[in-house]
Amino acid sequence: MMFDRPLLRFVPRGTKINFMRGRFIGLATSAVLSIASLILFFHPGLTLGLDFRGGIVVEARTQGPADFNVIRAALAAQHVSAAGVQSFGGPDDVLIRLDTPPDSEPDHEARTQAMVDSVRHAIATLPGAQVLRADAVGASVSKELFRNGMLALGISLLMILAYIWFRFEWEFAVSAVVTLVLDLTKAIGFLVITHFEFDLVMVAAILTILGYSTNDKVVVYDRVRENLRKYRTMPLAELIDLSINETLSRTLGTSCTVFLAALPLALFGGASLSGFAWVMLFGIVVGTSSSIFIAAPLLLLMGEKRLRRDARPPARS
């Protein structure tokens, strides 16, 4: 039967790659990338999206290629000074950004709303133009959204730590969370370099890649734990290598399917989803490699003495 047997095989059977020998290279590369990301985070910093920055963004579609001068003139006629008028997506699409009045001023919320309406009126004066999207986020709301986003991120990390601690031993939990934090810094560096706007949807994307990365680590750890019971005398480095090799086929297989699922979204998902999907793709690569090159070496460093001692059979037997 044609579909009975697999046509392709991902990883040759019974690999014996000595991953732990390269553990310092892995950790060093990760450290360099994470430090670079941190530098990027402080300078030039993340491009904050509307959710976290506050302000007004109006997307409009004009009839025929957009003429920025005409648009600026229409805005000026409504007494609106745009902070930026730029194209995005197709040639017919324009993006108009406005800064909202600072929240120290009275009536700033009402004025923000009036500005949105003025932009709408300005676009209505252009023949055939239509507003695709108009968003206005006040300064107080944006601060709050940012706080909630960070809270969600922090609590998720803590919950993951608690769960792994509960299911495994503390060396596993700590090395997993340290690895996740390193993954997180790299994702932030990626956002800085790519200029994707950091907004609520990106927080969701980052949480998802953290979830995925955790998932990947749990699978490797699970095998390490199983092998700790099975091979009581094997040195930890060898045992971790064995575990990684045994799960390598699964690790790469799953990464591939998730990658394939997210790829069309990155390529054709439209402006609002492609940024999300690119972060996902990046996170899949980082999360998969960090399981092997960072989480495992960290576990080796922390557990070299303890885990083996614990696993040793009782002295009497």
Q: Which of 27, 33, 132, 302 binds other proteins (CB under 8 A)?
A: 132
Q: Is 18 in the site for other proteins (CB under 8 A)?
A: no
Binding mask 26-65 for other proteins (x = CB under 8 A): ---------------------------------x-x----
Q: Which of 63, 81, 86, 130 binds other proteins (CB under 8 A)?
A: 130
Q: Which is nearer to other proteins, 12 or 314 (CB)?
A: 12
CA angle 233, 250, 268 (to 5 degrees): 150
Q: Which of 178, 200, 234, 302 binds other proteins (CB under 8 A)?
A: 200
Report the C-alpha dihedral over residues 277, 217, 188, 156, rounded to 10 degrees.
90
Rounded to 5 degrees, φ, ψ at 88 are -155, 155
- At 102 the three-state DSSP class reads coil
The CA distances from residue 204 to 49, 54, 192, 273, 280, in Å, are: 14, 19, 17, 12, 10
Tell me which residue of 276, 171, 172, 206 sits closest to 37, measured CA to CA: 206
Q: Which is nearer to other proteins, 27 or 134 (CB)?
A: 134
Q: Which of 17, 32, 39, 256 binds other proteins (CB under 8 A)?
A: 256
Please report where in the chains the tokens 């608690």 appear, as a residue.
Answer: 162
Binding residues for other proteins, total number by CB under 8 A: 83
Q: Which of 82, 98, 126, 164 binds other proteins (CB under 8 A)?
A: 164
Q: Which of 28, 39, 110, 193 binds other proteins (CB under 8 A)?
A: 110
Q: Is 302 in the site for other proteins (CB under 8 A)?
A: no
Nearest distance in Å: CB 178, other proteins:
16
